[in-house]
Amino acid sequence: MVELRNHVPLSICVNSVRTCWDSHDKGGCYSEPTDDINEADKNLLKRVILKHKHASTAEHLVYNFKIFDVSRALLQELARHRMASPSVKSTRYTLKELKNEEPFTTYTDINEQEYTKDGRERAEKYIVMTSDERVNRMSILALDNLRDLLKAGICNDIAKYSLPESFKSEISLTINARSLQNLLTLRTSKAALWEIRNLANDMFNVLPDSHKFLFIDSVKKI
């Protein structure tokens, strides 16, 4: 799940672009920051940012997203987008909830470890499930092993080395429009990891409608 928590209004970017040519007299005069810009200023942003690719001016637009329930595998993908500022839920301080869980697995008659129906349902709170149940099984077993380490008194900083890649996290992500265009171009592609592809599309969808014209060409339709 993705929420847009805050963003810089379009008028700030308009003012920054018009500063380059000292052309403030040719556009709107906004008494306070707003997304409600006139058509001349919207066309200015289209021409400068989208047509002529003066992309540095797009850096004046900044967005803050809150991202929930994504895997650590996705975190690694997202880390490649360096012109962004992620703040990630800490495993050092947030594993105690898992420590207090009942086991997710049990042992069968042939002494094989297997997850229960209830265990699987509770595990979904902690791990991202995939379309392959074999992968989900291994993630649940890893989750139970991590729980055992925590119950045995292993400190979080050491126990977290056994975290499965599917372990869920939360992110507060601040990113400017130039970097967001790049992220959407790469991550809405069918070649992208399915989870980050879903994330990229969700990020586009929660943008203000008045901003989407800057990003619509970056979104790949599959």
Catalytic residue ranges? 187
- Local structure of residue 220 (DSSP, 8 states): P
For 182, phi then psi, to 5°, come to -65, -45
Q: Is 80 helix (H, G, I), strand (E, B) or coil?
A: coil
Q: Are 172 and 66 in contact (CB under 8 A)?
A: yes
Q: Are 63 and 180 in contact (CB under 8 A)?
A: yes
Q: Are 199 and 3 in contact (CB under 8 A)?
A: no
Whole-number Cα distances in Å, 202 to 103, 105, 221: 34, 33, 13
